[in-house]
Amino acid sequence: MSQSVDLQPRSLWRDRNFLTMWGGQALSQFGEQISLLGVPVLAVVLLHSSAFEVGVLNASGLAAFLLIGLPAGAWIDRMRKRHVMIAADVVRAVALASVPILWSLGMLHIWQLYAVAFVIGVATVFFDVSYQSLTPSLVLPEQIAEANGKLEATAQVAHLTGPAIAGWLIGVFSAPFAMITTAGTYAASFVALSFTRDREQLRPAHEHGRLLHEIGEGLRWVFGSPALRRIVGTTGASNLFNTISVTILPLFLLRELGMTPQAMGLLLSLGAVGGLLGAIATPHLTRWVGEGPAIPLSALAFCVVGVLLPVAAMVPQIAFPLLVVAEFVMSFFVLVYNITQVTFRQRITPPRLLGRMNASIRFVVWGVMPIASLAAGALATWLGIVPTMWIGALGQLASAVFVVTGPFWAMRSLPTGTEAPAPDAT
């Protein structure tokens, strides 16, 4: 009697290595959400920072993507990505733990928050590029989209619960001591990642080229591909203008609309429900409209809905529910967009270039964010908070043009590495 062979890949629910990496990423995301609310609230409410100082604070946390984003990708391609993530968690935990210590000693000033934000930003560059590049070495090629969906769904659970819990922690313990919880989540992420075992194969040292040559190789791969260029165009422009809005958002909500930190946290948590549902719905939507068309359709949707943010200032009596709807719909379609375009990037890129590909893209799409943060502080000081929100919303609306006019409409299924056309010659 013949013996049947099960050719189906093992479910990710039973894959110990993926689950431990997933757990580490989830804990890091949860901690990040607490600090994303806690640090600006600390600056605005306790240190009485100006709009420009809030802009500089946000820029400090994002500057690393512009300053070291490109060499980080080349370095990461030479190292074990899981080990990089573990080291990044340690650095972030120590940096955040310094905030309540300095506050309790009466020594915390805005420039120290700048320094803490910058150190955390550097560590986050290495963590984020590594985890996006590590996934293909943990799962089979046909499971990459599912793995990305699970990672993004968990991130959205953090987005959902993190701000509300952060608002509660700030209300009970004050913003500085809420940072202790964040440091604890990074320490727990360190433990989870320590138990992960990956199949990553490092390149032999003799294959390493000069750093500038390897950086250039990653840039040529990204910008030599017409499809990747359009993804970078939309994502970069969207991040540029969305960061203008997000930088001013604490001032817009806390001062312009008169919300409490707890209400702000609740708003962001309710909006994040859309992101969670978007992560769950992405496989169904891509089967319905096609994997390629899902990229421009989702980009167009979240860019259009972003206009509702400044509209809320025109109808303050319904601002809270209007902003909940806006955040919900934006989060839903941002997740559809992110899961689909990240899967596309991972599928067509050779493993040896994954770190440099992700870092090259992050250099552009995140590198614009510290510039946007400084611009937001300057614009809010010059024009006011609400006009600055309008600039962010209308600029983001225009950013969808790159992918909307791209080749994705004809891609019912996203290509794999063997099917993808080679980048244009440079």
- d(CA 65, CA 62) in angstroms, rounded, equals 6
- On whether the CB atoms of residues 144 and 18 are closer than 8 A, the answer is no
Identify the residue with better confidence: 271 or 1.
271
Q: Count of CB atoms within 10 A of residue 5's CB?
A: 6
Per-residue three-class SS string for the chain:
CCCCCCCCCCCHHHCHHHHHHHHHHHHHHHHHHHHHHHHHHHHHHHCCCCHHHHHHHHHHHHHHHHHCHHHHHHHHCCCCHHHHHHHHHHHHHHHHHHHHHHHHCCCCCHHHHHHHHHHHHHHHHHHHHHHHHHHHHHCCHHHHHHHHHHHHHHHHHHHHHHHHHHHHHHHHHCHHHHHHHHHHHHHHHHHHHHCCCCCCCCCCHHHCCCHHHHHHHHHHHHHCCHHHHHHHHHHHHHHHHHHHHHHHHHHHHHHHCCCCHHHHHHHHHHHHHHHHHHHHHHHHHHHHHCHHHHHHHHHHHHHHHCCHHHHHHHCHHHHHHHHHHHHHHHHHHHHHHHHHHHHHHHHHCCHHHHHHHHHHHHHHHCCHHHHHHHHHHHHHHHCCHHHHHHHHHHHHHHHCHHHHCCHHHHCCCCCCCCCCCCCCCC
Q: What's the pLDDT tens digit per position in 46-105?
A: 788 887 888 888 788 888 878 887 787 777 777 777 788 889 989 998 998 888 888 888
| Contact between 381 and 50 (Cβ < 8 Å) | yes
**Are residues 376 and 221 in contact, defined by beta-carbon separation less than 8 angstroms?**
no
Domains identified in the chain, total number: 1
Predicted local confidence at residue 232, as pLDDT: 93
Q: Which domain holds residue 81?
A: 15-195+212-410
* 422, part of any domain: no
| pLDDT at 352 > cutoff 50 | yes
Q: What is the mean pLDDT of residues 288-298?
A: 91
Section 393-411 average pLDDT? 91
Q: Taking 50 as the threshold, does the pLDDT of residue 1 lie above it?
A: no
Average the pLDDT over each of 5-9, 275-279, 350-354 and give the range with the smallest value: 5-9
pLDDT bracket for residue 421 (50, 70, 90)? very low
All residues at 6 or more sequence positions from 249 whose CB lies less than 8 Å from its CB, including other chains: 309
Q: Band the pLDDT of 156: cuts 50, 70, 90.
A: low
Residue 3 domain-assigned (yes or no): no
Max mean pLDDT range (151-155, 186-190, 415-419): 186-190
Q: Helix 354-365 and helix 51-67: axis angle, to 10°?
A: 150
**What mean pLDDT comes out for the span 358-379?**
85
Q: 23 in a domain, yes or no?
A: yes
Task: State yes or no: pLDDT of 371 exceeds 80.
Answer: yes
In order of 71, 136, 198, 204, 322, the CA distances from 201 in angstroms are 20, 11, 9, 9, 49
Whether residue 424 is contained in a domain is answered as no
Give the pLDDT of residue 423.
47
Comparing 6 with 308, the larger pLDDT belongs to 308
In a domain? residue 203: no
Is residue 379 in some structural domain?
Answer: yes
Domain membership flag for residue 206 = no
Work out the percent of the chain whose per-residue pLDDT is above 70.
86
Single out the residue of 36, 35, 29, 38 nearest to residue 170, CA to CA. Answer: 38
What CATH number does residue 383 fall under?
A: 1.20.1250.20
Report, in angstroms and rounded to the nearest whole number, the Rg of the chain calculated over CA atoms: 21
Least reliable range by pLDDT among 15-19, 79-83, 106-110, 172-176: 172-176
Amino acid letter for position 327: E
pLDDT per position as a tens digit, 313-346:
888 889 899 999 998 999 899 989 988 888 888 8
Q: Residue 212: how many CA atoms within 13 Å on its side-chain side?
A: 0
User: Over 60: is that where the pLDDT of 417 sits?
Assistant: no
pLDDT tens for residues 200-242? 565 555 555 677 788 888 889 888 888 899 999 999 999 999 9
> Does residue 204 belong to any structural domain of this protein?
no
Of 163-172, 277-286, 398-407, minimum mean pLDDT range: 163-172
